[in-house]
Chain A
Amino acid sequence: MSTGEIRRVIIIGAGQAGGETAQRLRQGGFEGEITLIGEEPTAPYQRPPLSKAYLKGDLDIDRLMLRPASVYAEERVALLTRTRAVWIDRANRKVRVEGGRELPYDALVLATGAKPRKLPLVGADLDGVYLFRTAADVDRVRERFASGAKLIVIGAGYIGLEVAAVARQCGLDVTIVETAVRPLARVTSPEVAGFFLDEHTRQGVRFVLGGQPAVIKGADRVTGVGLTDGAELPADLVIAGIGVTPDIAIAEQCGLTVGNGIITDRQCRTSDPNIFAIGDCAARPMVHYEGRIARLESVHNAVEGAKIVAATLTGGKEHTEEAPWFWSDQYDLKLQIAGLFHGHDHVVFRGVMADRAFAAFYYKGEKLIAVDAVNRPAEYLGAKMLIQTNRTLPPSVIEDMSRPMKELVASAR
């Protein structure tokens, strides 16, 4: 497919990945038609602050916007909000949207994102039980987010912990129910999880670990959560943060290869060469991890997908993939993560947890594969550079706090 043939690009999904794609296509000199289709009522916005500053009330929706809504018209991007794409006709290269309108494309970008998992419980639809994915979800939560209110967070992943931190800062009474025996079970090591458990406990959060919610109680409004062991926890509001599932329905329906996400190659191309998939909905080979296929839920992944697709479609300079990166803000702790820790066989610490500034370096054999850095930005950026350039440092060197991280990185092979 040469760029000369591409006159019409449709992007399904107006989250960060979709929005960035439109912007980067224009920045890269693409002059054809761009249509950006999204189900939400607003132009693309940043999701990470939803569980942080936006929930707290420190940022309004305008500041979440990737770009002002007026920019789309100025740059001739047809932004279709409140619009759901329902069908892809691959043979004729058309997308049908709800209502029946059909839009032709030369290249199609799927940036459909992910949907939050609903609690599979009786009472999950009661007033006061919330999912946490969109600005509208958070606006509803904020109506009940009052000092003294009893909040139960179900799920101790990053969203659950970030929400709990903001809730404590706003004076809510917070209990987290988690089915695993520790928080952050899927995303970090037991050591780092233990640090966050202690921190939240010190901040007054109660944990029910290994707790299985059985029912959400209440007549028309939530009053509590019943657990399988018979315990009942009172609640004024319940927030579910039990993960997301990639939104792959439209890809599946048109026969694209899917697994845990829409499967693509390194150029984000799906099994149909005219269709790309990026962001939370897509899974692609990780160049820093022996080409393992992974689906990442992160800003880095959303932006990188947009950069890769824009470069491919405009014939621009090929994007060099970064090591995956993530962050989480809780209280005064900034957790910065580089790399993917799955498959590590040992952890080495630089700094001590008691100082509330330390980094956990994850190794697979001699190879450094990831870092969790708490209030340690140099360790985070240094490790990210090492992973990106396929270099490593021996654990004994990493542990040596007498030498600054920058010096260590410079000495790495």
Chain B
Amino acid sequence: MPKITYIESNGKEHVVDAPVGQTVMEAAVKHAVPGIDADCGGACACATCHVYVDPEWLAKTGEQNSMEQSMLDFANDVEDNSRLSCQIKVSAELDGLVVRLPKSQH
């Protein structure tokens, strides 16, 4: 199973086994990684699963979709590598993915 590393804003790391086909958000929530709220459960309705994708992984995670882009427009501290983790599907290719979490989701 692909492994994903989530790094909290205070530097604390969480390495999680993420099933292929689920999203980067789901794997975090199911393992209670703090810093990803994901209140809507992945419906792209709440913009509380914001992550920064480690730059070397950007090619593999793909680009923001247009809905995601609009949602991120209203999130705090958005960077070029910002994504909503509910919109990144886990694949074998993403084994080893590193994402960083913002200070706050609100």
Contact = CB atoms under 8 A, between A and B. Distances in A.
A299 B40 contact: yes
A71 B16 CA distance: 14
B30 interface: yes
B22 interface: yes
Contacts of B34: 27
Interface stretch (A62-70, A126-134, A189-197, A258-266): A62-70
Interface stretch (A97-105, A377-385, A389-397): A377-385
Contacts of A63: 22, 26
B74 A406 contact: yes
A46 B41 contact: yes
Nearest to A65: B30
Contacts of B47: 381
Interface in B38-59: 39-41, 43-47
A68 B31 CA distance: 8
Interface of A: prevailing SS: helix
Given A377-B70, A382-B74, A300 B43 contact: no
A377 B39 CA distance: 16
B32 A377 contact: no
A211 interface: no
Contacts of B43: 48, 327, 329, 334
A336 B43 CA distance: 10
**Which secondary structure dominates chain B's binding surface?**
loop
Interface residues of B, number: 19
Interface in B47-106: 47, 67, 70-71, 73-74
Given A63-B22, A299-B41, A327-B43, A381 B29 contact: no
A71 B32 contact: yes
Interface residues of A, number: 28
Given A299-B40, A325-B45, A329-B43, A377 B67 contact: yes
A378 B39 contact: no
Interface in B1-38: 22, 26, 29-30, 32, 34
A48 B74 contact: no
A66 B40 CA distance: 11
Nearest to B71: A377
B44 A334 contact: yes
Contact of A378 (B26, B29, B40, B70): B70
A376 B70 CA distance: 8
A218 B34 CA distance: 53
Contacts of B41: 46, 48-49, 299
Contact of B74 (A46, A300, A327, A378): A378
Contacts of A375: 67
A119 B15 CA distance: 49
Contacts of A68: 30
A381 B47 CA distance: 9
A378 B39 CA distance: 18
Contacts of A170: none
Contacts of B67: 334, 375, 377
B46 A325 contact: yes
A85 B45 CA distance: 34
Contacts of B70: 376-378, 381
B73 A378 contact: yes
Given A71-B32, A381-B70, 11 more contacts: A48-B43, A66-B29, A67-B30, A71-B30, A299-B39, A299-B41, A334-B44, A336-B45, A375-B67, A376-B70, A377-B71
Interface of A: 23, 27, 46, 48-49, 63, 65-68, 71, 299-300, 303, 325, 327, 329, 334, 336, 375-378, 381-382, 385, 406, 409
